[in-house]
């Protein structure tokens, strides 16, 4: 399915009268926990009252915010024990005082494929209505969460989760999840990183157009609404604050966040990073937030010295994955407009895509290293080091045929590991660096290579990654967020413990099994 309203009903859908949409909500007008709870929030986060910085920001107040803050100002709990007791008295804190932990039943001896199918109901959540003082955003329809500490809907995760939902016939929740994303664009002008107030100032890699492409709906009004949402998202992702002029004047985009403060969900970590950096704190916070928007939080990709997070400079970088996805979005919008008989729109977005492809192939390709990479704006050069992002031009179909063999050879020589595709070739302790491999990057590489005739390498990556997933499943009975593809076990590093569940690992694993079957060796 494309973004368009298809067939003979197209003209009708274009002229059909719709109710006037509600005015968009300014994302920065929605209060986050740090703004609502002020010093209480700062003390809970900076004194590390809960093990995970995300715990308190997901808490739900038991009574009005003003009453809680009045009591806090009066009591000013001085010890950590007193502060924790105050928090637990006044909030329902996930994983602490919100009831006994839920367990996911595991069918003994279930195959990996069967286990994934059994997980979908446990990762599906009903519609959400926001609670005053809480951080959860309202969602009109059921959706699927990643699992573990990630109790809300996440943007780019959901596309890869949907790959498995589709294969397992979970079309109803797949469609309702897409509808939830469309509703977010209609309310806020973009899809936030996740469905929490503290994520509203940024997005994530733009996969909505690809989600829509998985749908099999024949409803013209639904298609028209989705096309409008993708066009609105495109406007957000190509706004002035996100745009860079390349040396020849062409325009490409970078990751961004509208705030320049510590992330609510990683407040302590961000304050410490900014302090150690010795750099202007607002810039460090902005770059940390932009790194979170990239989905690669965090990676040597975003570090000026290629090693330390204190040198993070994400907003100085023109990323190959983001711009490849924007190319794919432009092509998809053009096709949608074409099918909707909107010739001017189709021509406009086709030209945008052509210009972007030319710029990517001019500035983000290293002829000496036979790879795509990220552009350093200050140095006016490609950043050193091959990463899995190099496969995105293959994935969206913008890499010239003359480069495919060389690029595939680079991927094979530098990124192919015993257990799948490496994220980078640098060990920093960050979770988006070696030795971790991630399900979404396996899929992008496999699909990109397959589309460009590199069938053997695509299958090799799939076989090796599935072998890793199966090995960990046999060990722990779980699918996890990330994998160590050198030792073929669960991954590590980053700001939090390894999470299980896990939405995108389930989806990609299920889709790879469908594509190639389980490896025979």
Identify the H or E element spanning 183.
helix 171-188
Cα separation, 411 vs 459, whole angstroms: 13
Residue 260: partners with Cβ closer than 8 Å, 6 or more residues away = 282, 283, 285, 286, 289
356-385 CB burial, b ≥16 within 10 A, e <16: bbebbeebbbbeebbbbbbbbbeeeebbeb
Q: Which residues are within 8 A (CB) of 328 and not within 5 positions of it... i.e. 6 or more apart?
A: 209, 210, 395, 396, 397
Sheet strands (E) in 272-348: 317-318
Query: Vertex 410, ends 408 and 415: CA angle to 5°?
Result: 100
How far apart (Å, rounded) are the C-alpha atoms in residues 269 and 297?
12
Burial class (CB in 10 A: 0-12, 13-18, 19+), 310: middle
Query: Which residue in the list 167, 481, 486, 500 is annotated as catalytic?
Result: 481
Q: What is the dihedral of CA 359, 294, 143, 13, to 10 degrees?
A: -20
Active-site annotation holds for 38: no
Q: Is 481 a catalytic residue?
A: yes
Place of tokens 């499943």: 473
Active-site entry in 297, 342, 486, 500: 297
- CA–CA separation, 371 vs 464, rounded Å? 22
Which residues are catalytic, by number?
297, 481
């Amino acid at each position: 399915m494309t973004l368009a309203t298809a067939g003979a009903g197209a003209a009708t859908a274009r002229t059909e009268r719709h109710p006037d949409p509600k005015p968009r909500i300014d994302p920065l007008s929605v209060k986050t926990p740090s703004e609502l709870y002020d010093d209480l929030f700062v003390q809970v986060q900076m004194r590390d009252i809960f093990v995970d910085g995300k715990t308190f920001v997901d808490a739900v107040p038991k009574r009005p915010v003003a009453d809680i803050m009045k009591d806090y100002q009066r009591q000013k709990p001085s010890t950590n024990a007193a502060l924790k007791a105050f928090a637990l008295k006044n909030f329902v804190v996930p994983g602490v005082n919100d009831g006994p932990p839920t367990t996911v039943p595991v069918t003994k001896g279930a195959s990996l494929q069967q286990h994934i199918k059994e997980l979908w109901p446990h990762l599906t959540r009903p519609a959400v209505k926001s609670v005053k003082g809480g951080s959860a955003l309202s969602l009109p329809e059921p959706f699927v969460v990643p699992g573990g500490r990630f109790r809300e809907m996440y943007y780019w995760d959901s596309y890869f989760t949907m790959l498995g939902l589709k294969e397992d016939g979970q079309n109803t929740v797949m469609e309702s999840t897409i509808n939830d994303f469309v509703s977010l664009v209609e309310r806020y002008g973009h899809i936030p990183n996740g469905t929490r107030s503290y994520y509203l100032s940024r997005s994530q890699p733009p996969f909505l157009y690809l989600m829509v492409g998985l749908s099999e709906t024949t409803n013209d009004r639904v298609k028209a609404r989705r096309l409008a949402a993708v066009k609105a998202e495109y406007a957000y992702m190509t706004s002035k604050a996100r745009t860079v002029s390349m040396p020849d004047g062409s325009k490409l985009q970078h990751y961004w966040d509208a705030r320049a403060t510590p992330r609510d969900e990683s407040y302590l970590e961000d304050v410490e990073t900014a302090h150690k950096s010795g750099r202007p704190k607002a810039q460090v916070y902005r770059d940390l937030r932009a790194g979170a928007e990239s989905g690669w939080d965090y990676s040597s990709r975003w570090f000026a010295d290629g090693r330390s997070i204190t040198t993070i400079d994400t907003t100085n970088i023109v990323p190959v994955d983001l711009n490849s996805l924007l190319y794919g979005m432009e092509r998809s919008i053009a096709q949608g407009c074409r099918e909707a008989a909107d010739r001017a729109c189709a021509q406009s977005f086709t030209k945008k895509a052509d210009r972007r492809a030319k710029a990517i192939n001019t500035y983000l390709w290293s002829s000496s290293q036979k790879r795509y990479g990220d552009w350093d704006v200050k140095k006016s050069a490609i950043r050193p080091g091959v990463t899995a992002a190099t496969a995105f031009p293959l994935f969206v179909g913008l890499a010239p045929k003359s480069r495919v063999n060389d690029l595939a050879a680079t991927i094979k020589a530098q990124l192919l590991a015993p257990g799948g595709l490496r994220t980078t070739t640098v060990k920093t302790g960050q979770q988006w660096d070696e030795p971790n491999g991630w399900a979404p990057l396996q899929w992008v590489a496999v699909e990109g290579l397959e589309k460009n005739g590199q069938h053997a390498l695509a299958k090799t990556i799939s076989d090796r990654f599935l072998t890793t997933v199966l090995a960990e499943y046999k060990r722990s009975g779980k699918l996890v967020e990330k994998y160590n593809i050198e030792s073929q076990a669960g991954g590590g590093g980053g700001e939090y413990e390894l999470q299980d569940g896990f939405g995108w690992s389930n989806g990609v694993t299920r889709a790879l099994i469908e594509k190639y079957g389980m490896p025979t060796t």
